[in-house]
């Protein structure tokens, strides 16, 4: 409307305007319609409205299962249910049963009708929502004259005896000559129906071995019943479940030509028995593999009462292990009840002959199984239950102890070459330059005897490419990468870089070790030799902000310093640590290895300084007399604030020099013969007064002679 009656145009956004209506093709969600009216003067008014559109979901229905009803000549009432329906939109309009010809009654969930003859009655159930969408399901009622019973035709036998070690499945097929519907049930296990039609049923029966059955003999009577509602046929499975034990060698163990490789022998009892003893016999290609040693692991509970390892028991390239955890009337050790299947029970250490091998060439380590009960076997703590590779060939029954299955699986070495080595993967997990690799190398650096590296790890350790393996520089390079501080290309240190480890022994029996460097230092390793009875106390600089590893042995203290976050020690002079001598004598450093902040080895020198002074005093000045400048030397027992003042013969202050805080030790200051205004003073006698203003609270004065 317009009081001036001069409307020019009216139009709509979001739809088509026709007369006083807007028509639109909606989308799911919010649809906005905007009406705009403009008069001849250009003035306009606007209004909005929104239409929210939700997509309709069809209803869902379900019918009861098919049923069979015997017919004896008299009409029979059949009730089927429940019939169920649902709709996520909650807009079901009608639900009905069809066909109407049955003249049944439907109360919303149950449908009842009367059958006057045999045959198949098909009942449909449908629901329609307000949008006209529908869903339909069907069920059948088979009305039959009772005749022959169903017959299980597969398997043929009525009773089947079977010996199993693991889950067991079989095909079941049933027929009914009368064409009746067949219902098949089982008391233990699961049935999967494949075909179910009048007169024919086909499916799969599966028996799952219970956890309680592992390690011992259990008998299960499985009864399968096939019924047409009047009579049944039966199939019985008499299942003997025998426990399984697995013995196996490690898989895909890498080895380098000329290097030692270690492969484990594992035992998995599935946590259902305590091991009393075992035999294990193995063979390999002795022309390229030499067995060095077989050692039991902590997985065998640190002990046994009998262990015999016979290398060469069946000839070259063979070994037999006989192990008994517990013997009666002997020193008690006890059976093994908690063997970890992920950890070996024995380690086999081999050396691979140096030679040129094909890429990924494998060498198997397998079990000798000529005499199953003697070559490879496992017994429980009673000795009556024995697991060996033949297992079910001697099935047990309820009147005797029997044999159980021992699964045997070979292992193998895979030969690799230098090109196969992943640089930076020191923990050999396939992922280079991660924190585990840094830990492996740090452990080696601090204690190579306790944490040795195999040949492959040594080759993988040269991450900075300087052909020096497993150095402190390699550790710093790894840490730079893991912390995101890596440089590519790697920065090299200046050729004239100076790195000194300065040792100062003071009069209190304490040594101070400082780092003096004109480049950033990423880390270092060194040893301090000691005698067997030395009880040295170490005190590290708390502000160093570095990771410090210390390993003390009878003859040395090994120290490794780095930062796991890739930080470094700034250039300059940094106190590292203090050592209380006690019985050590003079402190020395040996086996020094230093890395800069970028993972390069740099030369580190050891420098020894005089002992720290025990008091504040001026040593003297030189030259004296002097012409233009003189150097004043003094001793400072502790870190202190030092000030130098120059006076003339009248006591007037000529110059005042604030030296700031100086570390304990020997220092020198220079006076250039000028006053506080920077002007040269005249010839004469002057006095230099040195003040220690902090902890020392001392002064010293000397005479200076200036001659021009």
Question: How would DSSP label each residue in 375-428?
Answer: HSEEEETTSS-EEETTGGGS---TTS--EEEEEEE-EEEEE--GGG--TT-TT-
Q: What angle do CA 516, 517, 521 make, to 5 degrees?
A: 115
Q: How far is CA 660 from CA 572, 641, 643, in A?
A: 17, 5, 7
Task: Check residue 485 and give its pLDDT.
Answer: 67
Section 33-61 average pLDDT: 93
Give me the percent of the chain exceeding a pLDDT of 90. Answer: 50
Q: Establish whether the linkage from the previous residue to 625 is cis, with ω within 30° of 0.
A: yes
Residue 478 · residue 441 · CB < 8 Å: yes
Position 382 scores a pLDDT of 78
Q: So what's the pLDDT on residue 492?
A: 65
Does residue 359 register a pLDDT over 50? yes
- What gap in Å lies between CA 437 and CA 281, rounded to an integer? 36
Mean pLDDT of 615-622: 88
Q: Rounded CA gap, 594 and 221, in Å?
A: 74
Residue 569 CA to residue 547 CA, distance in Å, equals 11
Task: List the one residue out of 643, 660, 628 whose CA is nearest residue 701.
Answer: 643
pLDDT over 50 at 398, yes or no = no
Q: How confident is the model at residue 85 (pLDDT cuts 50, 70, 90)?
A: very high
Q: At what angle do helices 472-482 and 435-446 cross, to 10 degrees?
A: 160
pLDDT at 217 (0 to 100) = 55
* Average pLDDT score over residue span 567-571: 91
pLDDT at 397 (0 to 100):
45
Whether the per-residue pLDDT at 395 is higher than 50: the answer is: no
Pick the closest to residue 615 from 688, 508, 704, 510 (CA basis). Answer: 508
pLDDT of residue 500: 93
Torsional sign, CA 445, 448, 451, 453: positive
Residue 626 has pLDDT above 70, yes or no: yes
As a whole number, mean pLDDT of residues 261-283 equals 90
Q: How far is CA 385 from CA 19, 210, 397, in A?
A: 95, 19, 13
Mean pLDDT throughout 27-45? 94
Residue 494 is predicted with a pLDDT of 67
Region 503-516 average pLDDT: 82
Backbone angles phi, psi at 495, to 5 degrees: -65, -30
pLDDT of residue 514: 94
Q: Write the CA distances from 450 to 248, 255, 348, 424, 445, integer angstroms.
A: 29, 21, 20, 21, 10
| Averaged pLDDT for residues 639-650 | 92
Taking residue 356's Cβ as centre, other Cβ atoms within 10 Å add up to 7
Q: Do 255 and 416 meet the contact criterion of CB atoms below 8 Å apart?
A: yes
Say yes or no to pLDDT of 84 above 70. yes
Residues counted in the chain: 708
- Region 380-390 average pLDDT: 80
Contact between residue 265 and residue 295 where contact means Cβ atoms under 8 Å apart = no
Q: In degrees, to the nearest 5, what angle opens at C-alpha 568 toward C-alphas 567 and 571?
A: 150
The predicted model scores a pTM of 0.44
pLDDT of residue 301: 63
**pLDDT of 212:** 60
Closest CA to 630 of 652, 609, 657: 657
- In this prediction, residue 54 has a pLDDT band, given cuts at 50, 70 and 90, of confident
**In whole angstroms, what is the distance from residue 576 CA to residue 639 CA?**
15
Of the listed ranges 160-169, 385-394, 647-656, 669-678, the one predicted with least confidence: 385-394
Q: What is the mean pLDDT of residues 525-530?
A: 89
Angle among Cα 69, 73, 75 to the nearest 5 degrees reads 65
Residues 103-115, mean pLDDT to the nearest whole number: 94
Cα 687 to Cα 684: distance, rounded to the nearest angstrom: 10
Separation between Cα atoms, residue 309 and residue 267, nearest integer Å: 17
Exposure on the CB side of residue 251, measured as CA atoms within 13 A: 5
Pick the residue with more confidence: 148 or 619? 619
If one compares 555 and 41, the residue with the highest pLDDT of the two is: 41
Q: pLDDT at position 17, please?
A: 93
pLDDT digits (tens, 9 = 90+) for 211-268: 665 545 567 899 999 998 878 899 999 887 767 789 999 988 888 888 888 999 999 9
CA-wise closest residue to 67 among 206, 227, 216, 225: 227
Element (H, E) at 443: helix 435-446
What are the chain's domains? 7-53 (no CATH), 60-144 (2.60.40.10), 151-241 (2.60.40.10), 244-415 (2.60.40.680), 499-609 (2.60.40.680), 617-706 (2.60.40.4070)
As a whole number of angstroms, the distance between CA 483 and CA 171 comes to: 60
What is the residue whose two structure tokens read 């001069």? 6
- With a cut of 90, say whether residue 186 has pLDDT above it: yes
The two three-digit tokens of residue 551, written as one number: 């390993």
Round the average pLDDT of the chain to a whole number and report it: 87
Percentages helix, strand, coil for the chain (3-state, rounded to 5) are 5, 50, 45
Nearest Cα to Cα of residue 207 among 181, 239, 230, 235: 239
Omega cis (within 30) before 623 = yes
Sheet holding 7-13, edge to edge: 7-13, 29-39, 44-53
Radius of gyration over alpha carbons of the chain, in Å? Answer: 47
What is residue 401's predicted lDDT score, i.e. its pLDDT? 45
């Amino acid at each position: 409307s317009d009081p001036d009656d001069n409307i020019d145009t009216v139009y709509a956004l979001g739809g088509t305007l026709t007369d006083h209506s807007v028509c639109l093709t909606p989308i799911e969600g919010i649809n906005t319609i905007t009406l705009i009216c403009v008069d001849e003067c250009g003035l306009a008014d606007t209004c909005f409205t929104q239409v929210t559109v939700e997509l309709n979901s069809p209803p869902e229905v379900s019918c009861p299962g098919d049923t069979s009803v015997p017919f004896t000549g008299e009409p029979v009432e059949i009730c089927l249910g429940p019939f169920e329906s649902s709709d996520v939109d909650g807009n079901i309009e009608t639900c009905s049963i069809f066909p109407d010809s049955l003249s049944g009654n439907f109360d919303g969930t149950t449908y009842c009708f009367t059958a006057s003859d045999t045959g198949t009655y098909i009942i449909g159930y449908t629901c329609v929502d307000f949008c006209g969408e529908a869903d339909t399901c069907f069920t059948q009622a088979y009305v039959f004259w009772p005749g022959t019973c169903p017959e299980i035709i597969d398997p043929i036998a009525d009773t089947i005896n079977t010996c199993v070690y693991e889950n067991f499945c079989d095909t079941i097929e049933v027929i009914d000559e009368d064409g009746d519907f067949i219902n098949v049930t089982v008391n233990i296990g699961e049935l999967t129906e494949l075909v179910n039609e009048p007169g024919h049923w086909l499916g799969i029966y599966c028996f799952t071995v219970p956890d309680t059955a592992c390690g011992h003999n259990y008998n299960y009577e499985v009864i399968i019943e096939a019924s047409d509602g009047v009579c049944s046929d039966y199939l019985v499975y008499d299942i003997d479940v025998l426990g399984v034990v697995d013995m196996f060698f490690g898989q895909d163990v890498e080895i380098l030509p000329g290097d030692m490789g270690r492969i484990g022998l594992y035992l998995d009892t599935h946590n259902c028995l305590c091991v009393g003893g075992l035999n294990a016999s193995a063979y390999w290609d002795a022309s390229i593999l030499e067995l060095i040693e077989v050692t039991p692991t902590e997985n065998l509970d640190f002990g046994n009462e009998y262990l015999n390892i016979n290398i060469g028991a069946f000839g070259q390239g063979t070994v037999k292990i006989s192990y008994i955890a517990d013997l009666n009337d002997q020193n008690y050790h006890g059976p093994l009840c908690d063997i970890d299947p992920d950890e070996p029970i024995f380690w086999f250490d081999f050396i691979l002959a140096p030679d040129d091998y094909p890429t990924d060439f494998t060498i198997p380590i397998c079990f000798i199984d000529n005499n199953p009960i003697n070559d490879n076997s496992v017994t429980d703590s009673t000795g009556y239950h024995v697991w060996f590779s033949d297992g079910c060939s001697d099935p047990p029954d309820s009147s005797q102890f029997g044999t159980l299955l021992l699964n045997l699986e070979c292992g193998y070495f895979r030969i690799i070459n230098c090109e196969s080595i992943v640089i930076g993967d020191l923990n050999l997990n396939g992922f280079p330059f991660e924190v585990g690799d840094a830990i492996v190398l740090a452990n080696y650096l601090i204690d190579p005897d306790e944490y040795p590296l195999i040949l492959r790890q040594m080759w993988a350790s040269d991450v900075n490419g300087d052909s020096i393996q497993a150095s402190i520089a390699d550790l710093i390079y790894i840490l730079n990468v893991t912390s995101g501080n890596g440089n590519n290309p790697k920065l090299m240190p200046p050729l004239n870089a100076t790195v000194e480890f300065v040792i100062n022994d003071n009069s209190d029996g304490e040594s101070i070790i400082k780092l003096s460097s004109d480049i950033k230092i990423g880390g270092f390793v060194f040893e301090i030799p000691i005698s067997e009875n030395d009880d040295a106390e170490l005190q590290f600089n708390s502000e160093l902000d570095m990771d410090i590893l210390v390993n003390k042995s009878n003859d040395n203290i090994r120290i490794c310093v780095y930062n796991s976050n890739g930080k470094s020690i700034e250039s300059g002079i940094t106190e590292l640590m203090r050592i209380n001598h006690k019985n050590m004598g003079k402190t020395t450093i040996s086996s020094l290895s230093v890395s800069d902040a970028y993972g390069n080895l740099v030369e580190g020198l050891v420098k020894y300084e005089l002992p720290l002074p025990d008091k504040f005093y001026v040593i003297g000045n030189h030259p004296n007399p002097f012409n233009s400048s003189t150097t004043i030397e003094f001793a400072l027992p502790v870190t202190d604030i030092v000030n130098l003042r120059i006076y003339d013969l009248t006591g007037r202050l000529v110059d005042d020099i604030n030296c700031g805080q100086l570390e304990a030790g020997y220092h020198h200051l220079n006076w250039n013969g000028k006053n506080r205004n920077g002007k040269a003073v005249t010839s004469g006698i002057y006095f230099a007064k040195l003040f220690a203003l902090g902890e020392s609270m001392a002064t010293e004065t000397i005479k200076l002679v200036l001659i021009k």
